[in-house]
Amino acid sequence: MLSIFEPLLDIPVVYYGALLGVGFCIYYLFEVVKTPMLVCANGPFREFLEKHVPLVRNKFWPTLWCFESRAQTVIASVLRSRILPPIHYRREILTLSDGGEVALDWAEEGCSAVSPIVIILPGLTGASQAEYIKCLVSSAKKVGIRCVIFNNRGLGGVELKTPRTYCAANSDDLTEVVDYVKKIHPNVLLGATGISMGGLILGNYLARQGKIAKNKLKGCFLISVPWNVFAATKSTEENYFNLILNKYLAFSLRQQVKRLHYSSESGMFDVDIDSLLKSQTVREFDSQFTVKQFGYKDVEDYYSNATIHDKLHLIDVPLLCLSAADDPFQPVQAIPLKEISQTKKIAVVVTSRGGHIGFMEGMWPVKEEQYMGKLFSQFFTALFTTNLEHQLL
């Protein structure tokens, strides 16, 4: 029996390596590199995207050596944070109606007083210097679009003035920010972008404001938004590797609240801080903190209020979304593809790979402008230079 395999032992090892390499390349070309799925009802918005946003028609080439979902998620963050230089912003502190303060960081170098503006909402614990924010700002700068990053309460180096922070379901602060930017720039075209949890805040704002938002924002863009919060938390709690990401986020949230709480001698928050600091997952943190902060009955009540997959029919502003089918925070089956396919003003681009806010492409992804940045700039450039709203009437 062994004599059958003896000839194989004489084959140089390099040949086996070459065979494996060829097999890997075939797998990459046929199973990894794919044209993104564009989901949107037939009509003016879909035609607009297919005509003016080339990326929706082109294949997405994920980084050859890093296309696994968790690897895209983590390595993209690490590489961008090391490669992209800090952005120089003009900071403006906005005092809200309840006395709270948020930082608005303006990226407007090279832009004029009439250049369009995009408000950017970072993710769960992100702020203006987050690597994915810098990626978008770099892309916007190349096409002459101003960006203003809305840093949530207590983030971006701003002192917390009230014992209230922020959550995915509450868009009150965003409402004030949009109204303020619109007030000081009444004749300038305005858009908005939300990343991850920032996408939930923006999505909830659009759903609750309805036609009112249409008079303020020309269009919006969501990146890696967890459409269904219940499915997102379940996905990050059941899979071991996803759970590691979940625990890291919970750790970041604990550290943030700890810092803010002890910034006051008497303690900033009316919570059992010791129990809170034992939270191991985002769900446990939300149960101990977010639910109590915003008066929800329980975490299920909060997540039901935060999720946007069932609110799409309320959105009246042209909305483009970017999701990856392998996003560890949002399984593809939880993306409301059927509902989106029936809407006239919402579209989602779903790449086969990309992880969560990853979307690294190319052999060595060190360029400032990556896939999500290019989609961002192509979409808003087209949006601000065409009469899409008249076509959607």
Which two structure tokens, joined as six digits, stand for 302? 């909060």
* Strand positions, DSSP E, the chain: 37-39, 90-95, 101-107, 117-121, 146-151, 190-195, 219-223, 319-324, 346-351
Q: Quick one: which of 283, 306, 282 has its CA closest to 294?
A: 306
Average pLDDT (130-144) is 95
Q: What is the dihedral of CA 173, 177, 183, 188, to 10 degrees?
A: -150
H/E stretch holding 204 reads helix 197-209
Among 105, 286, 326, 327, the one annotated catalytic: 327
Residue 2 binned pLDDT confidence (cut-offs 50, 70, 90): very low
Domain boundaries 39-228+307-391, CATH class: alpha beta
Residue predicted with more confidence, 246 or 23: 246
Q: What is the pLDDT of residues 71-80, one digit of tens each?
A: 899 888 988 8
Percent of the chain with pLDDT over 70: 93
Q: 117, 147 in Cβ contact below 8 A?
A: yes
pTM over 0.85: yes
Q: Where are the domains of the chain?
A: 39-228+307-391, 234-288
Q: 115, 351 in Cβ contact below 8 A?
A: no
Residue type at 272? Answer: D
Among 105, 138, 279, 356, the one annotated catalytic: 356
In the predicted model, what is the mean pLDDT of the chain?
91
Max alpha carbon distance in the chain (Å)? Answer: 84
What's the pLDDT score for residue 147?
98
Q: 344, 45 in Cβ contact below 8 A?
A: yes
Residue 196 appears among annotated catalytic residues: yes
Residue 356 appears among annotated catalytic residues: yes
∠ CA 336-341-344, nearest 5°, is 115
As beta bridge partners, residue 103 has 93, 151
Sign of CA dihedral 2, 6, 9, 15: negative
Among 138, 171, 196, 377, the one annotated catalytic: 196
> Which residue shows structure tokens 């003035």?
161
Which two structure tokens, joined as six digits, stand for 352? 């086969």
Residue 21 binned pLDDT confidence (cut-offs 50, 70, 90): low
Average pLDDT (344-367) is 89
Residue 309 appears among annotated catalytic residues: no
